[in-house]
Amino acid sequence: MRPNQFSAETAKMIAEKLNMRLEEVMHTPPHILTAKLKEAEEKGAVEEKDQNSR
């Protein structure tokens, strides 16, 4: 399988958001990365909502 065709900045941003190694991000299938990013954003929205209600 070919590595993903992300720019270095995009790959670094994804790695930081998902707490993954850069190499892992580059070799994870795009549909899995998309699902993980969506899950992380939903989790972040719930946590932010909880903090605002306090």
Alpha helical stretches, state H, 1-54: 8-18, 22-27, 30-52
Q: Exposed, middle or buried, 25 (CB in 10 Å: 0-12/13-18/19+)?
A: buried
Q: Which percentage of the chain shows pLDDT scores above 90?
A: 57
3-state secondary structure of 21: coil
Angle between helices 8-18 and 30-52 (to 10 degrees): 50
pLDDT at position 5? 86
Q: What is the pTM of this model?
A: 0.74
Is 3 within the bounds of a domain? no
Q: Is residue 38 part of a domain?
A: yes
Print the domain residue range for 34. 8-52
Residue 2, in any domain of the structure: no
As for how many domains the chain has, the answer is 1
1 lies in a domain? no
